[in-house]
Structure 1
Amino acid sequence: MKKGKLIVFSAPSGAGKTTLVRHALDSISNLKFSISCTTRDKREGEVHGKDYYFTSPEDFKAKIANDEFVEHEEVYHDNFYGTLKSEVDKITAEGISVIFDIDVIGALNIKKLYGDECLTVFVNPPSLEILKERLISRNTESEDKLKQRIDKAGIEMEKAKEFDVILLNDDLETAKAKTIEIITDFIK
């Protein structure tokens, strides 16, 4: 059986990567979501084991010490995200490709580890101003968190050139169609 490949979507918060990843999962049968592990608080409607594996900072640090992650990062103080090796190995061994929705640094680290078996896609918002409007309209962040995310977005957008593909999300339907095209070309 042919092993599955890895497709990594990354973007500044609010650029639309999660929407595009969900669309790909609904549209492509041989694709499974990589559930990340995080220490951040659950948002309304999120489910442990479906959206994320929610854990404590102490447990997360123990997993780091045990080398259980493909990639991990402390995105904000005591706010960790990471991808468990066991999750990736389980899915790809079944011949299914894995799709990720993770931060920029994590995406680039996975690419280093998996090389040509991994495709990195950076979802670019039309502008920082539109990104800010999207984040405000989500109404999920405090003023401090909002400022942190916007400051980080500028840094992340500078890293886009290190990705295999840059996908502009200025029109959602166009971006959805392009997402399917990019992924199916890579996994065939």
Structure 2
Amino acid sequence: MTDPRRRGLLIILSSPSGAGKSTLAKRLMAWDEGLRFSVSATTRAPRPGEVDGREYYFRSRAEFEAMVAAGEMLEHAEVFGNLYGTPKGPVEAAMLEGRDTLFDVDWQGGQQIRRSSLGKDVVSIFVLPPSIEELDRRLRGRGQDSDEVIAGRMAKSRDEISHWSEYDYVLVNNDIDAAEARLRIIIEAERARADRQPGLTDFVRNLNREFEDR
């Protein structure tokens, strides 16, 4: 939803692989067409069909490092020899339009965003699986990864889950429909907070003037 009467939110969605984060992100985007999905910058080469500015902002390592040095990245990290990060400019522009931005990031990326100059506008949500057995079942049910890759993902999940208490909200994804419904409630409530509505003071002042004019 776009609302020029308030600053946009930075909605951070994190979870271990297989807990449902990506599915929930897609559902949120379908629910609210005004919600902007954060596009990351990367130094890796574009894959066939990928378009600059849609899947990623493709940059050279020198360009990426210059953006980091200039403070133009909300968060960044190196993964398998390539740099990935979130450019600050598009996020700030969306915020000023009253447009919310959704981030699908891990706990480290979320931590960097919360510590950035835009941290006061962050709403962070961590998604947990109902059990480790179910997490393993979901990863295997994808049919995309080898046993070795799944074992690696499960090992990483333990570390990711250990950071649950750093988030504003935690959802246990027993049922994807119920988790989506709770997620919507969180976002709507955060949008309605008094401190997120910069025009509220003037609105109430005008109400008081109406009392005086009666």
TM range (shorter): 0.7 to 0.9
Q: State which of 94, 103, 106 in structure 1 corresponds to 2:109.
A: 106
Identity %: 39
Q: 1:94 and 1:159, CA in 2 relative to 1: closer, same or farther beyond 3 A? A: same
Structure 1 stretches of 5 or more lacking a match? none
Q: 1:116 and 1:68, CA in 2 relative to 1: closer, same or farther beyond 3 A? A: closer
Q: Rg: which structure is higher?
A: 2
Structure 2 stretches of 5 or more lacking a match? 193-214
Residue 210 of structure 2 corresponds to: none
- Report the TM-score when normalising by structure 1: 0.84
The number of residue pairs the alignment matches comes to 187
Q: State which of 68, 78, 81 in structure 1 corresponds to 2:81.
A: 78
- Report the TM-score when normalising by structure 2: 0.74
Q: State which of 5, 11, 14 in structure 2 corresponds to 1:10.
A: 14
Higher percent of residues as strand: 1
Q: Secondary structure at the match of 1:146?
A: helix
Distance 1:93 1:100 in 2: 17
Distance 2:152 2:59 in 1: 22
Q: 1:49 and 1:92, CA in 2 relative to 1: closer, same or farther beyond 3 A? A: same
Deviations 1:66-91, CA, capped at 9 Å, x for gaps:
432101123x4324432111221121
Distance 2:42 2:133 in 1: 28
Amino acid corresponding to residue 89 of structure 1 in structure 2: E
Contact 1:72–1:82, Cα closer than 8 Å, also in 2: yes
Residues 11-50 of structure 1 mapped to structure 2, 5 A cutoff: 11-38=15-42, 48-50=52-54
Cα distance, 1:99 vs structure 2: 1.2
Residue 95 of structure 1 corresponds to: 98
Distance 1:14 1:46 in 2: 24
